[in-house]
Amino acid sequence: MRSLFLAGALVAATLTAQAQGTIKFDSENFDFKNVAEGTLATHEFTFTNTGNQPVVIANVQASCGCTTPEWTKTPVLPGKTGSVKAVYNSNGRPGQFNKTVTVTSNASNASVILTIKGSVLSREAMQKTYTAEQIAASARLTISEPTLSLGKLEPNRTATARFHFKNTGKKNLTVTGLQSGCNCVSFKGNAMPQGIAPGESGTITLQYAPHEVGEKTEVVSLLSNDMSTPAVKVTLKASVVKSLTEQSMLREADARVPFK
């Protein structure tokens, strides 16, 4: 009888161990290579739940205060994907960097370490002098509508901002990063336009997640190989309110209701 009990317990333990989610990242390392000082270097690590139970990320801890992590907060079902974003603030940090973020979850591999690295080029190193001929022959980033109003937003809720551009220069255009006064703007999915031919148009998609309530104006510098204007500025505007739901309820309360 005792042996049957032990055998049953062993089978139950085996089944429990097998019934678990597993996190598998597409890659656990990313090299930014060269980053202009002041840039919020952002990379999004994507993972798939290859197990048979939902995965929930409990926490993501960065190795330093200069790196801010964001991650999928909802359960990731078997076969579905989630992400962990690492944002490195290069402002005032010229030189090499190598940072980690530790992902803790209920998966079978409960702790996964992701690594970002690169080299921050100082502002002095970035201030190159070009000849008139070089400037005339370079790429040129032209934004059709540099100011975008996003209306009303809630704090820490991500909004999408799309800026349409055209390469009006004579060489292929490559966007290399962005600079922002807040740690709340990034490229959506790290989608930075690359190799845009002269005369071609495209869209730069940013994610904006303001942290505080109030009227917000964020000036963002888009960095590129445009020698005439290496940092083209765009502006995001938003009215950040505590709760859009509360405002909607107030509007309904003030609305006139016809007699029935």
With tokens 């509508």, the residue in question is: 145
From 124, 156, 180, give the residue that closes a domain.
124
Is residue 26 included in any domain, yes or no? yes
d(CA 231, CA 248): 39
User: For residue 193, what are the domain limits?
Assistant: 135-243
Of 100, 124, 148, which marks where a domain is finished?
Answer: 124
Task: Give the per-residue pLDDT at 183.
Answer: 73
For the cut 90, the answer to whether the pLDDT of residue 186 exceeds it is no
pLDDT, position 190? 67
User: Where does a domain end: 98, 124, 150?
Assistant: 124
Q: Are 107 and 24 in contact (CB under 8 A)?
A: no
Q: Which of 158, 181, 179 is nearest to 70 (CA)?
A: 158
C-alpha to C-alpha distance for 129 and 178, rounded to whole angstroms: 21
Residue 81 pLDDT more than 50?
yes
* Beta-sheet strands, E only, within 90-158: 95-105, 111-121, 141-143, 147-153
Write the CATH number for 199: 2.60.40.10
User: Which of 7-21, 95-109, 155-169, 198-212 comes out lowest in average pLDDT?
Assistant: 7-21
User: Do residues 103 and 144 share a domain?
Assistant: no
Q: What pLDDT, on the 0 to 100 scale, is given for residue 125?
A: 66
184 versus 137: the higher-pLDDT residue is 137
Number of structural domains found in the chain: 2
Question: What's the average model confidence in pLDDT over 43-47?
Answer: 93
pLDDT at 10 over 90: no
Asked, for residue 10, whether it belongs to a domain, the answer is no
For residues 99 and 52, membership in a common domain is answered with yes
**Strand duo 67-71 + 29-36: pairing:** unpaired
